[in-house]
Amino acid sequence: MRPEVDELARSMLLLHGVHDDDHPHPAGSDSKPGTWSKAPDFASDPQRAAAVREATEQDRQRYLTSGLASVDCRFCHVTVQVKKLGPEHTSVQWNSEATQRCAVFAELRESGGDPARARSCPRLTDSIRHAVAEGCLEEFSSAPSPGDG
């Protein structure tokens, strides 16, 4: 960090009543006075570092996949992962194969458009509505929020 930025940060902390001695640095840490890390790296404890990495990966997977269900497009038969968060909010996770095989996206590419700029595929939207009507997909996901772990 540049000295003037560091000085500004220190003055802002002092303004809010936080002093450098309020955040002691662990003995043996490589951090310099006036710097901080959001989380320790546990370099001196490989078992704990491995446990933190594993827990972090589990949290990441839960955040990315909690409440998702597979939905097949009734038109082009691609499969995507879907989570309904409400009547007007649907989370759709496309994979590379589905993006390439989607007939609507293929038409967009052929006409010089970019599928990534499209709001959605209307045929897939119909398939999602059908999945909800058939009971294959919850209208409002009952999965816990990723941060409620």
pLDDT 10s digits, 12-54 = 777 776 655 545 544 444 555 555 567 677 888 899 989 988 9
| pLDDT tens per residue, range 109-143 | 999 999 888 888 999 999 999 999 999 998 888 87
The Cβ-side half-sphere exposure at 125, using a 13 Å CA radius, reads 10
- The model's confidence at residue 3, banded by pLDDT at 50, 70 and 90, is low
In a domain, 139, yes or no: yes
Q: Are 95 and 120 in contact (CB under 8 A)?
A: no
Nearest-angstrom CA–CA distance, 118 and 115: 5
SS3 53: helix
**Between 59 and 146, whose confidence is greater?**
59
Residue range 6-14: mean pLDDT, rounded: 78
Domain count, the chain: 1
Contact of 84 with 90, CB cutoff 8 Å: yes
CA 87 to CA 148: how far, in whole Å? 22
| 3 within domain boundaries | no
50 Cα distance to chain centroid: 22
Amino acid letter for position 13? L
Q: Is residue 72, in this structure, part of any structural domain at all? A: yes
Model pTM score:
0.60
Domain that holds residue 79: 66-148
Higher pLDDT, 5 or 27: 5
